[in-house]
Amino acid sequence: MTQRAAPEEGTTRMLRTARRLLAQGDAGDGPFQRQASVGQPVPVVGTHGELDSWLVPVTVGDRLGGYFRFTAAGDYSSFSAFPRRGERFDDCPLAADWLDAGRIAARAEPLRRRDETASPPFLSYDRTPERLAWAVRLTRPDGSARIVYVAGNSVFTPRQDDSVG
């Protein structure tokens, strides 16, 4: 699987755009803008390694307050924020649940069978790019593999009937 890192100029451009949108008030409200930090771009890839887009996390303390999405080419696409009450961000998910590869891998571990080897987690999606989730590929000795998804504190395998949920 190939995960391409953003070229330095692309990363810089995405970070500059995210910070500008946040500072201008085009993303989030006053409390969010005053307290938020923009994190490093994370590639969003399909399960076969193709680059789909980029996620630029926005944290407030130890919480993931929201995120920017950029196209595979690095152009701004959208901003999403997690619901919260007033100036408090403790209803937002823990940033580590979405950004810490070790924590994400540990969440997937209980679904790994004895003979399977787990890949490092990679940010992907369940069926459509709007359903972001970290993917962990579990491979058997014969080369067959399956995917386990981790989205925050939820861990699941894709449904075989191609339905969502």
**CA 6, CA 14: separation in Å to the nearest integer?**
10
- Cα separation values, 32 from 65, 73, 93, 128, Å: 8, 27, 15, 28
| Phi, psi (deg, nearest 5) at residue 129 | -60, -15
Q: Which amino acid is present at 11?
A: T
User: What pLDDT is recorded for position 19?
Assistant: 94
Cα–Cα distance measured from residue 78 to residue 137, given in angstroms and rounded to the nearest whole number: 28
Domain boundaries, the chain: 8-20+34-94, 101-156
What SS3 class is residue 11?
helix
Q: Is the pLDDT of residue 163 over 60?
A: no
Strand residue runs (E) in the chain: 37-38, 42-45, 51-60, 63-71, 76-81, 117-118, 122-125, 132-139, 145-151, 154-156
pLDDT for residue 2 = 42
Task: Report whether pLDDT(153) > 50.
Answer: yes
Q: How confident is residue 28, by pLDDT bands cut at 50, 70 and 90?
A: confident
